[in-house]
Amino acid sequence: MNKTIGIFGGGQLGRMMAQAALPLNLECTFFESNADCPAAILGQVYSTEQDPNALQAFIESADVFSLEFENTPLADVDRLSQDKAIYPPRQALATAQNRLLEKELFQRLEIPVAPFRAVDSLESLQTAVAQLGLPIVLKTATGGYDGKGQFVLREAEQIDQAWQELGPAKSLIAESFVQFSREVSIIAVRGQDGEVKTWPLAENHHHHGILSHSIVPAPRSEALQPVAQDYITRLLNHLNYVGVLTLELFVTEQGLFANEMAPRVHNSGHWSIEGAVCSQFENHVRAVAGLPLGSTEVVRPTVMVNIIGQHPKSEDVLALNGAHLHLYNKSEREGRKLGHITLMPLNQSELTHLCRQLAEILPEPLALTQDITI
């Protein structure tokens, strides 16, 4: 029987999930406010803008559910009838939506995190600063992304300002500032039978708070891989998770510290479409549909570069040796992820050459100006 997967959200992640589902004869439908979303070309969109009762029609449209938007309202998930499952499970979603719950879970599973305190008043912020010392990163517990809803507190004089900016959110988390050398992420998938497969660590670079490029496998990370794999496996098993989970980590002199998890496919896993035997999108769809998982082995070291804000000329990108271009059918806007480019260089000198060419082609040069090593 062909299954239909109903996906909460219809952005580029939903689009790439549906692209992976198509060859498996699995259909996707989407629940999304914007009827003209990136995923629309691949399946029916149930749009709340067009129909206030779209949620009910969406629920009726599919056999099993998933999501590409981690802030999917829990109330919407709760409307699914008893006999329709959602993967990842509700508890994983609820935990990932709240930084405090998330950090508490990491602690319970003995996954190292920066010392943190819950903050819900100016007094509790003052106490947190006194206990943790400065600098600290103050974050809203819910709703923040790409560095939004954050304040880096370096001096005690900034306490009032930080509280004025973020206090209205009511529930905050104060974290010690982590002195990290690199940011990495690990992505893993768990099947309905409990099998876990993990991709290699990605080394992630940001530009103005947005992921600019990922290098996989993360260079000089052989010793970190089993540790990260152990941490994410603890989370997957504890949450009785099904589907793809991402864990973002800081590399420090004291080892890996967990920053946050995303209960979904992740931008730092886009490399896997060409760079792995089975991509994060295909394995997610396989898990949700109850199919066997595919190999997460790397085909070749891969660099994924985001296209942000403005499109380069497709002809220029495709003229680069071995480059793959993925466009999401989105209009240009500052800071918006419009697509990505995958490079699969044969060696370091080819990569250096490709990066230099790419830095000239991309309208916003990102952080590619310094050479990337694999």
Residue list 226-255, contact with ligand AMP (CB under 6 A):
248
Residue showing the smallest CB distance to ligand AMP in the complex: 178
145 among annotated binding-site residues: yes
Residue 175 engages ligand AMP in binding (rule: CB under 6 A): yes
Residue 26 engages ligand AMP in binding (rule: CB under 6 A): no
Nearer to ligand AMP, 265 or 287 (CB): 265
Residue 86 engages ligand AMP in binding (rule: CB under 6 A): no
Q: Where are the alpha helices (DSSP H) in 46-89?
A: 54-61, 74-77
Tell me the DSSP string of 189-239. Answer: EE-TT--EEEPPPEEEEEETTEEEEEEESPTT-TTHHHHHHHHHHHHHHHT
Query: In the structure encoding, which two tokens stand for residue 284, read together?
Result: 């997610």
**Contact between residue 117 and residue 174 where contact means Cβ atoms under 8 Å apart:** yes
Residue 27 to residue 287: CA distance in whole angstroms = 14
Phi and psi angles of residue 343, each rounded to the nearest 5 degrees, phi first: -115, 135
Residue list 91-150, contact with ligand AMP (CB under 6 A):
114, 137, 144, 147
Q: Which stretch binds ligand AMP (CB under 6 A): 81-89, 172-180, 221-229, 360-368?
A: 172-180
**Nearest distance, CB of residue 265 and ligand AMP, angstroms:** 16
**Contact between residue 86 and residue 65 where contact means Cβ atoms under 8 Å apart:** yes
Residue list 258-317, contact with ligand AMP (CB under 6 A):
259-260
Q: Which stretch binds ligand AMP (CB under 6 A): 8-16, 173-181, 270-278, 347-355?
A: 173-181
The angle formed by the CA atoms of residues 190, 77 and 237, to the nearest 5 degrees, is 25
Residue 169 engages ligand AMP in binding (rule: CB under 6 A): no
Rounded to whole angstroms, what are the CA distances from 12 to 281, 319, 328?
11, 24, 6
177 among annotated binding-site residues: yes
Residues making up the annotated binding site are 99, 139, 144-150, 175-178, 183, 206, 259-260
Q: Footprint of ligand AMP on this chain (CB under 6 A)?
A: 114, 137, 144, 147, 175, 177-178, 183, 206, 248, 259-260
Residues making up the annotated binding site for ATP are 99, 139, 144-150, 175-178, 183, 206, 259-260
